[in-house]
Amino acid sequence: MEQIGIELEKAVELILHHGVEQIKTHIIPVMKANGAILAEDIYAPINNPPFDRSPLDGFALRAGDSSHASKKHPVTLRVIDTVYAGGFCDKRLNAGEAVRIMTGAPIPFGADCVIRQEDTGFTPGKSEYTVEIYRELKVHQNYCFLGEDIKKGQMLLKAGTKITYIEQAILSSVGIMQIVVCQKPRVALFVTGDEVVPPGSQLKNGKIYDSNLTLLYNRLKEFQMEPVVAEYLPDQPEIIAEIIKKVSESVDIIITTGGVSVGAKDIFHEVYPMLQLERIFWKVKLKPGTPAMFSMYQGIPMLNLSGNPFAAITTFELLVRPLLAKLSGDKGLNTVRIKGVLAQPFTKTSGARRFLRGNLIEGKVHIPPTEQHASGILASMAGCNCLVDIKAGTNPLDMGNEVEVILLDV
Ligand code: AMP
Ligand code: MG
């Protein structure tokens, strides 16, 4: 049953209820996984480091051999080998012996500590030489254990983790080259309106340059999602219905702007019957963007947002973003609400629930002058980082009033 004029929370609930099935996954190279969402828990296949190693340049020895050693009374050990990072000493170290060792090299069998080069005296270069030990060491002093960083079998990364350069490096450090990640939803984006032309076109009488295609296309890019289709459509229901039909075969979500209100060219009311489609809801109790519409077409969620740019932004963030969060597995896209204090007054009464643009800095919410909030006004959005949620039935707001905001951060 279609619902008309519902609360925002109900609208989001309906969208998530209908719009999300199993998240699709695929395998990709770790090197290309930046920004991807891990779909499976990952356990360490090996220890890192894979062997006991030296944290510095010096000599590996047995701590017992260094007892009572000092600069005045050094202990002299026979140097039996040299081991570099990347190399391996296959000799076993016995009492009275040392192995010259570099940072990152495996500690030879038989040695239990490493002395820094600066605490020794030696003359390198000879094939057979000795080293003077100037201080006493404890067992496992200057000694990095195998698995110090990562232990084989330990939980390394949890499903749902967003892969950044750090996670990529962690995976690399245990030799993992491929991971299973959530597939990014394939988005189709359409802006409708006979008046809308792309920048670069001639601005004939009655035409305006597009804001919404650029707006939502790039917002999707900020969400690390590539719209697979992004097109301008005329206010012709047959054409729109045809294109939606076609595109529905190869996308996971359809987003449109324009044509959802009650005017003569609000063509989605004609598109729906052409697609033999029922609205799940139409009209959400919020300003701007009230006439937002939602349906499922061939199993694909379709959100039709109103065309005013600020309405498109607001309803995209409030209605579409939670769905994209679920479809992509990216919890970072879930709505974050925090409290702030108005830094400027807002002089209008809000009969209906209203969202304002704002810029939250250190707890203070800066808003443009009251007349700069209309849904057709985009420029005052520059620098804004949040939407201010003003409950229905709120009187004009004063500077210093507490408000709740929804962050636009990604
Ligand atoms: P509509 O939702 O189609 O009734 O459009 C509402 C208002 O938004 C009208 O003034 C349209 O000209 C404007 N509008 C619609 N689409 C866009 C767009 N892509 N870019 C900028 N303004 C738009
Ligand atoms: Mg229109």
Question: pLDDT by residue (tens digit) across 134-156?
Answer: 999 999 999 999 999 999 999 99
Total count of domains within the chain:
4
Q: Residue 377: nearest ligand to its CA?
A: 1
Six token digits for residue 5: 């004029």
For residue 158, the domain's CATH number is 3.90.105.10
Six token digits for residue 56: 């510095």
Report the pLDDT value the prediction gives residue 133, as an integer from 0 to 100. 98
Residue nearest to atom 7 of ligand 1 (CA): 308
The structure tokens 């951060």 sit at 409
Using the predicted structure, report yes or no on whether residue 21 has a pLDDT greater than 90. no
pTM, 2 dp:
0.91
Closest ligand 1 atom number to CA of residue 232: 19
Distance, CA 307 to ligand 2 centroid (Å)? 6
For residues 272 and 266, give the distance between their C-alpha atoms in angstroms, rounded to a whole number: 11
Residues 38, 167 within the same domain: yes
Residues 34, 87 within the same domain: no
Determine the average pLDDT of the residues in 8-35.
95
For residues 229 and 251, give the distance between their C-alpha atoms in angstroms, rounded to a whole number: 9
Indicate whether 138 belongs to any domain.
Answer: no
Closest ligand 1 atom number to CA of residue 192: 16
Residues 227, 158 within the same domain: no
DSSP 44-67: -SS-BSSS-B-SSSEEEE-GGGGT
pLDDT in tens, 346-401: 999 999 999 999 999 999 999 999 999 999 999 999 999 999 999 999 999 999 99
Q: Residue 197: nearest ligand to its CA?
A: 1
Distance, CA 267 to ligand 2 centroid (Å)? 8
Q: Which residues contact 393 (CB under 8 A, 6 or more apart)?
A: 350, 351
Residues 262, 353 within the same domain: no
Residues 260, 223 within the same domain: yes
pLDDT in tens, 280-336: 999 999 999 999 999 999 999 999 999 999 999 999 999 999 999 999 999 999 999
Contacts 24+ apart (CB under 8 A), 263-270: 265/194, 265/235, 266/291, 267/192, 267/235, 267/236, 267/237, 267/240, 268/237, 268/240, 268/293, 268/304, 270/237
Distance, CA 240 to ligand 1 centroid (Å)? 16
Report the pLDDT value the prediction gives residue 126, as an integer from 0 to 100. 65
Report the pLDDT value the prediction gives residue 127, as an integer from 0 to 100. 65
Report the pLDDT value the prediction gives residue 44, as an integer from 0 to 100. 98
Indicate whether 221 belongs to any domain.
Answer: yes
Indicate whether 139 belongs to any domain.
Answer: no
Q: Residue 194: nearest ligand to its CA?
A: 2
Closest ligand 1 atom number to CA of residue 195: 12
Residues 254, 316 within the same domain: yes
Using the predicted structure, report yes or no on whether residue 274 has a pLDDT greater than 80. yes
For residue 390, the domain's CATH number is 2.40.340.10
Residues 152, 43 within the same domain: yes
Distance, CA 258 to ligand 1 centroid (Å)? 6
Radius of gyration of the chain from its Cα atoms, rounded to whole angstroms: 32
Residues 156, 270 within the same domain: no
Residue nearest to atom 5 of ligand 1 (CA): 307
pLDDT in tens, 155-167: 999 999 999 999 9
Closest ligand 1 atom number to CA of residue 306: 2
pLDDT in tens, 46-99: 999 999 999 999 999 999 999 999 999 999 999 999 999 999 999 999 999 999
The structure tokens 């051999």 sit at 65
Q: Residue 288: nearest ligand to its CA?
A: 1
Indicate whether 64 belongs to any domain.
Answer: yes
Higher pLDDT, 338 or 125: 338
Distance, CA 191 to ligand 2 centroid (Å)? 9
Contacts 24+ apart (CB under 8 A), 169-175: 171/30, 171/42, 172/30, 173/48, 173/149, 174/44, 174/45, 174/46, 174/48, 174/150, 175/45, 175/46
Q: Cα angle vertex 97, ends 56, 135, to 5°?
A: 55
Indicate whether 199 belongs to any domain.
Answer: yes
Distance, CA 237 to ligand 2 centroid (Å)? 12
Report the pLDDT value the prediction gives residue 320, as an integer from 0 to 100. 98
Using the predicted structure, report yes or no on whether residue 124 has a pLDDT greater than 80. no
Report the pLDDT value the prediction gives residue 145, as an integer from 0 to 100. 98
Q: Residue 261: nearest ligand to its CA?
A: 1
For residue 88, the domain's CATH number is 2.170.190.11
Indicate whether 140 belongs to any domain.
Answer: no
Indicate whether 141 belongs to any domain.
Answer: no
Residues 36, 86 within the same domain: no
Length of the chain measured in residues: 410
Looking at the DSSP bridge assignments, the partners of residue 121 are 132
Using the predicted structure, report yes or no on whether residue 8 has a pLDDT greater than 70. yes
Residues 205, 290 within the same domain: yes
For residues 394 and 381, give the distance between their C-alpha atoms in angstroms, rounded to a whole number: 22
For residue 216, the domain's CATH number is 3.40.980.10
Of 189, 192, 194, 196, the residue with max ligand 1 atoms within 8 A of its CB, to mutate for a pocket test, comes to 196
Residue nearest to atom 15 of ligand 1 (CA): 307
Residues 212, 177 within the same domain: no
Structural domain containing residue 163: 26-48+148-182
Residues 388, 295 within the same domain: no
Q: Which residues contact 279 (CB under 8 A, 6 or more apart)?
A: 2, 272, 293, 294, 295
- Cα–Cα distance list, 218 to 35, 215, 222, 225 (Å): 16, 6, 6, 9
For residues 380 and 45, give the distance between their C-alpha atoms in angstroms, rounded to a whole number: 52
Q: Among 317, 333, 349, which residue terminates a domain? A: 333
Residue nearest to atom 10 of ligand 1 (CA): 308
Going through 292-401 in order, the beta strands assigned E by DSSP cover 293-297, 300-305, 337-342, 354-361, 364-366, 386-390
Average pLDDT, the chain: 97
Q: Among 318, 333, 348, which residue terminates a domain? A: 333
Report the pLDDT value the prediction gives residue 290, as an integer from 0 to 100. 98
Residue 1: pLDDT band with limits 50, 70, 90: confident
Report the pLDDT value the prediction gives residue 12, as an integer from 0 to 100. 98
For residues 321 and 325, give the distance between their C-alpha atoms in angstroms, rounded to a whole number: 6
Contact 358, 327 (CB under 8 A): no
Q: Among 99, 133, 167, which residue terminates a domain? A: 133
Residues having CB closer than 6 A to ligand 1 are 191, 193, 195-196, 208, 210-213, 257-259, 261, 263, 266, 306-309, 376
Of 192, 208, 290, the residue with max ligand 1 atoms within 8 A of its CB, to mutate for a pocket test, comes to 208
Which of 297, 208, 224 lies closest to 256, judged by CA? 297
For residues 315 and 312, give the distance between their C-alpha atoms in angstroms, rounded to a whole number: 5
Q: Residue 198: nearest ligand to its CA?
A: 1
Question: Lowest-pLDDT range, 92-96, 127-131, 406-410?
Answer: 127-131
Of 197, 212, 266, 269, the residue with max ligand 1 atoms within 8 A of its CB, to mutate for a pocket test, comes to 212
Distance, CA 275 to ligand 2 centroid (Å)? 19
